[in-house]
């Protein structure tokens, strides 16, 4: 039987503060949980209200009531399974391919979509500024659709990281070289900025080439959403 303390622990993990204290995060739903148990992530505990559930691994799933699951869940309509996993150690990025760098992305859905894009386009390393939203945020995890198990994500001081980068630093800007004509090498760093303010001044100073996606519609002051800009730029990098 699940104890009150276990329920309390799982609930607390919906907050970043407690994720950092316990070095654990919680994932909900069969799809994400299955991807995670079948990956390099270390399982801490699994809870389900469905005795028939099968993850394809020998991990023990603790049976709980729907009421207990609801208490652990961040969702109003909880899924049938909740998994608690260890937060992996930061992996040092290699520069064999492209690395994506995020400068203060704040929307959990955008981060989740970007993680999913990294997975699709074979980007193994995603490096985030300390103020970027936490990738173990429940909304982010949901938006990754499990692809978080295939991308190494680290949080670091971007200035230090970029100053020491052995490859070109390409940044997405409203005004930059049109990406279609830009020579994009086999490896590099792609920097995307904050939803409202774009790339910060300190990071802009470390960008070696500004690139931009041309606007074809009526000229407005609008920009593209950061996740759709990432989609287009990763496609440009990989299509060659």
Q: Which of 2, 43, 53, 145 binds a second copy (CB under 8 A)?
A: 145
Residue 190 to residue 169: CA distance in whole angstroms: 6
24 vs 100, beta carbon nearer a second copy: 100
Among residues 117, 133, 158, 199, which is the contact residue for a second copy, using CB under 8 A? 117
Q: Which two tokens stand for residue 166?
A: 């052995």
Binding mask 191-230 for a second copy (x = CB under 8 A): ----------------------xxxxxx-x-x-xx-xxx-
* Token pair for 181: 């004509």
Q: Which of 63, 80, 109, 154 binds a second copy (CB under 8 A)?
A: 109
User: Site for a second copy (CB under 8 A): how many residues?
Assistant: 34
Contact between 141 and a second copy by CB under 8 A: the answer reads no
- Binding string, residues 172-191; x marks residues near a second copy by CB under 8 A: --------x-----------
CA angle 29, 34, 137 (to 5 degrees): 50
Nearest to 153 by CA among 119, 125, 130, 187: 125
Under a CB-based contact definition with an 8 Å cutoff, are residues 72 and 9 in contact?
Answer: no
- Residue 208 CB, shortest distance to a second copy, in Å, is 23
DSSP string, 181-212: GS---SSEEEEEEBTTTBS-HHHHTT-SEEEE
Determine how many CB atoms are found less than 10 A away from the CB of residue 93.
20
Q: Which residues bind a second copy (CB under 8 A)?
A: 109, 113, 116-123, 145-147, 150, 180, 213-218, 220, 222, 224-225, 227-229, 231-232, 235-236, 238-239
């Amino acid at each position: 039987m699940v104890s009150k303390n276990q329920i309390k622990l799982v609930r607390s993990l919906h907050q970043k503060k407690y994720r950092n204290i316990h070095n654990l995060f919680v994932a909900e739903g069969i799809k994400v949980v299955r991807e995670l148990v079948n990956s390099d992530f270390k399982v801490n505990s699994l809870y389900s209200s469905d005795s028939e559930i099968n993850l394809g691994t020998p991990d023990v799933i603790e049976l709980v009531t729907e009421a207990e699951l609801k208490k652990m869940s961040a969702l109003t309509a909880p899924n049938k399974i909740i998994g608690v996993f260890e937060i992996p150690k930061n992996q040092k990025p290699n520069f064999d391919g492209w690395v994506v760098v995020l400068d203060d992305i704040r929307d959990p859905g955008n981060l989740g979509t970007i993680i999913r894009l990294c997975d699709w386009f074979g980007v193994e390393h995603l490096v985030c500024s300390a103020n970027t939203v936490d990738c173990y945020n429940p909304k982010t995890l949901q938006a990754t659709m499990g692809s978080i198990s295939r991308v190494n994500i680290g949080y670091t001081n971007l200035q230090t990281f970029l100053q020491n980068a052995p490859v070109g630093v390409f940044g997405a800007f409203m005004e930059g070289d049109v990406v279609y004509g830009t020579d994009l090498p086999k490896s590099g760093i792609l920097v995307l900025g904050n939803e409202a303010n774009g790339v910060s001044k300190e990071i802009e100073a470390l960008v070696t080439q500004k690139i931009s996606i041309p606007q074809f519609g009526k000229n407005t002051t609008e920009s593209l959403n950061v996740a759709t800009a990432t989609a287009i730029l990763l496609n440009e990098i990989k299509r060659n």
